[in-house]
Amino acid sequence: MNDMKTKYFLLSTFLLLMVRWSCVYGEDGSRLWLRLETANTATNITGVKGMAMSELETYWLGGPVVLKRQKNLPKDGYTIKSQGAKIVITASSDAGMLYGVFHLLRLQQTGQSCDQLDICEKPFYDLRILDHWDNPDGTCERGFAGKSIFLNADSERMKMYARANASVGINGTVLNNVNAKPEALSTASLGKTKAIADQLRPYGIRVYLSINFASPIKVGGLTTADPLDAKVIDWWKEKVNEIYRLIPDFGGFLVKANSEGEPGPQDFGRTHADGANMLAGVLKPHKGIVMWRAFVYAPQSPDRANQAYLEFMPFDGQFADNVIIQIKNGPVDFQPREPYSPLFTAMQKTQMMVEFQLTQEYLGAANHLVYLAPMWQEFFSFVKPSSLKAMAGVANIGDDINWCGHHFAQANWYAFGRAAWNPALTPAQIADEWLTQTFGEQGNLSPLLKLMLESREACVNYMMPLGIHHIFAGTHHYGPEPWYAPRGLRADWTPPYYHRADSIGMGFDRTTTGSANVRQYPEALCRLYNDINTCPETLLTWFHHVPWDHKMKSGRTFWDELCHKYDEGVREARHFLAVWDAMQPYVDAQRFSEVQRKLRIQARDSEWWRDACLLYFQTFSHRPIPQDVEHPVHNLDEMMKFRIPISMYENPENGYNK
Ligand code: GCV
């Protein structure tokens, strides 16, 4: 080889290696929190136990590990014990072994000692389920991270998805949107569901489907979907048999019925209990379950927050034993802050599960850094984890290279799994685990931990402090449009229905002399919330129409306090950016600049929220913005004209960009 050729050879080999290196180790977020380097290549993998062995073989760097089966351990639980030079993972099921292996790998990845191990774990909930709102055309309702990962289910991507879920104990996934297309039950579509189920099964994950209650008409060609009609019941039986022939471990159905235009038993003069129990009956022989949603509200209701309770309480105790009522954490709709849904403490004889939303429909989509575990912890401070049967989370996953659209949104997926495994884990413990695995060995991560823990409250402050809720843009739920009220639109789809601002004050009167929503809560809380002087200020305008001059605990008037809260939110969002900027030496270039870009959007959006809300509410309060808060820098008329031309399936690329 002459000199030129040698140089060319060396240069191209170097470039090739660089390309390979950046493909394998590109810091694009695609590896999620599972960032251990491959130690060996595993072969001969079959079944869940095979996956456990393969994970060990591929990633474990320590001494010998033995996987043992022992009957008397709790389902999916495991022990990890050091025995001399060996580590023994014992479980009663293959899934338990897999979870035990992931636990061990987590210890390795977070740099903890793996000597003298004596760990005993079991999941708090048997069902730890992600709900995808994915449509057959690949769009994801309120999905902000691209298209559905199930559309062209690429096997490597599916494997990573399954591993990620198993690593945090998620063991079920609802593949399609609760606004379910009837075609989800067509034979062609079930074939695709089977293919996905086959890919997820080795990781201990069962699949479920959302169904359209009118499927017997729309897919089956019947003239009715009346749940008490014999032909309808037979159709469901046959359909369910078909599903189980394809997918013997199919989990069951998730149902949104008689809500937001979806069909349901009430269309045929029947009740939620009739509908749910009929489906439960046909699933029962196969050990399938029905997750029946309580997210219902009628357009003519004087208070949307009352609705689920009013529709479901009469049936408490009447649901079959394989029905679980799935209830959103709050009574309205995944707002940055809501009180807990009163159904949780009211229903005593019904199996319930909570539905959290990981996709940040109302919390800045995939642009704002908002760590959600503190919100779930707040929920669990009112609702005993043991009063629930299961936990579901609306997935924030799409085909974006980093899965969730924002690197930090991955933390919400991670936290959901960990919290469903053990709701007693604190948000700080979970965030710490996630940060160390995701950004580990990159300097001191404690400023990021603090930032994550403060992020939810900051979002509440710059979007909707003091109990304000649902003042979002009409079409995309991203930015502020407290004025949005097109003529003829049903009132409960417009912000003025919720904020009720007028010359006296603002807020929804849900006291005993208002909509009486407070009565749905246990006696002590009812009294607390009913009195404007004892109601927590964080929920003040949720429960009260608060006079502008109402004296707050700070000594300020309500109006001045509102201005301060919005301003505090903006300052916090700007501070997050400064915290992140200081992390530059410790974070790889790609993730650093991608997160920085998002934090800049968040800071700009927080000003947009503050300015739009304060200037708009000022048209009612007629009070000046206090001198000691930063004054709006945008004009109300311009903000009122500003539109983000996106559908409910997209992330707003730039946020407020005027
Ligand atoms: C899937 C809210 C969302 C809808 C969603 C609905 C639900 O209204 O905006 O997109 O529909 O909740 O949870 O059913």
Mean pLDDT rounded to a whole number for the chain: 94
Instruction: Using DSSP bridges, classify how beta strands 546-547 and 505-506 pair: parallel, antiparallel or unpaired.
Output: antiparallel
User: 488 pLDDT exceeds 50?
Assistant: yes
CA–CA dist 209, 582 (Å, integer): 45
Q: Considering only CA atoms, which of 451, 385, 389 is closest in space to residue 424?
A: 385
Q: Is 605 in the pocket of ligand 1 (CB under 6 A)?
A: no
User: 105 pLDDT exceeds 60?
Assistant: yes
The DSSP 8-state label assigned to residue 599 in this structure reads H
Q: Tell me: the pLDDT tens digits for 533-588?
A: 999 999 999 999 999 999 999 999 999 999 999 999 999 999 999 999 999 999 99
Residue 444 vs residues 390, 412, 447: alpha-carbon distances, Å: 36, 21, 7
CA–CA dist 579, 602 (Å, integer): 14
Q: Is 178 in the pocket of ligand 1 (CB under 6 A)?
A: yes
CA–CA dist 503, 499 (Å, integer): 12
Q: Which of 134, 311, 333, 492 is catalytic?
A: 333
As a whole number of Å, the end-to-end CA separation of the chain is 60
pLDDT at 53: 95
Q: Name the band, by pLDDT with cuts 50, 70 and 90, for residue 18.
A: very low
Q: Which of 42-51, 227-236, 322-331, 607-616 has the lowest mean pLDDT?
A: 42-51
pLDDT at 299: 83
Residue 399 vs residues 33, 141, 299: alpha-carbon distances, Å: 17, 14, 35
Q: Which of 274, 361, 432, 492 is catalytic?
A: 361
Q: Tell me: the pLDDT tens digits for 648-657?
A: 999 999 999 8
CA–CA dist 431, 440 (Å, integer): 12
Q: Tell me: the pLDDT tens digits for 355-411?
A: 999 999 999 999 999 999 999 999 999 999 999 999 999 999 999 999 999 999 999
Q: Is 355 a catalytic residue?
A: no
Residue type (1 letter), 439: F
User: 4 pLDDT exceeds 60?
Assistant: no
Residue type (1 letter), 464: M
Tell me what percent of the residues of the chain surpass a pLDDT of 90. 92
Quick one: CA torsion of 65, 116, 109, 423, rounded to 10 degrees? Answer: 100
User: 470 pLDDT exceeds 80?
Assistant: yes
Q: Tell me: the pLDDT tens digits for 159-186?
A: 999 999 999 999 999 999 999 999 999 9
Residue 545 Cα to ligand 1 middle (Å): 27
Instruction: Give CA angle at 539 (533, 545), nearest 5°.
Output: 65
Region 241-252 average pLDDT: 98
Q: Considering only CA atoms, which of 466, 274, 291, 299 is closest in space to residue 394?
A: 291
Q: Tell me: the pLDDT tens digits for 295-340?
A: 999 888 899 999 999 999 999 999 999 999 999 999 999 999 999 9
pLDDT at 153: 80
Cβ atoms 562, 602 nearer than 8 A: no
User: 17 pLDDT exceeds 90?
Assistant: no
Q: Name the band, by pLDDT with cuts 50, 70 and 90, for residue 38.
A: confident
Q: Is 141 a catalytic residue?
A: no
pLDDT at 154: 85
pLDDT at 11: 38
Q: Is 295 in the pocket of ligand 1 (CB under 6 A)?
A: yes
Instruction: Using DSSP bridges, classify how beta strands 78-83 and 86-91 pair: parallel, antiparallel or unpaired.
Output: antiparallel
Q: Is 333 a catalytic residue?
A: yes
Instruction: Using the atom order of ligand 1, give the atom closest to the CA of residue 259.
Output: 14
Give the 3-state secondary structure of residue 296.
coil
CA–CA dist 338, 521 (Å, integer): 13
Q: Which residues contact 268 (CB under 8 A, 6 or more apart)?
A: 224, 225, 226, 227, 228, 229
pLDDT at 20: 35
DSSP string, 165-188: HHHTT--EEE-S-SS--GGGGSHH
Q: Tell me: the pLDDT tens digits for 269-286?
A: 999 999 999 999 999 999
162: tokens are 């399954």
Q: Name the band, by pLDDT with cuts 50, 70 and 90, for residue 25.
A: very low
Q: Is 378 in the pocket of ligand 1 (CB under 6 A)?
A: no
101 half-sphere exposure, CB direction, 13 A CA radius: 28
Predicted structure pTM score = 0.95
Is 631 exposed, middle or buried (CB count within 10 Å of its CB: 0-12, 13-18, 19+)?
middle
Q: Is 406 in the pocket of ligand 1 (CB under 6 A)?
A: no
Helix (H) or strand (E) holding 6: helix 3-25
Residue among 131, 211, 260, 646 to mutate when testing ligand 1 (max atoms within 8 A of CB): 260
pLDDT at 218: 97
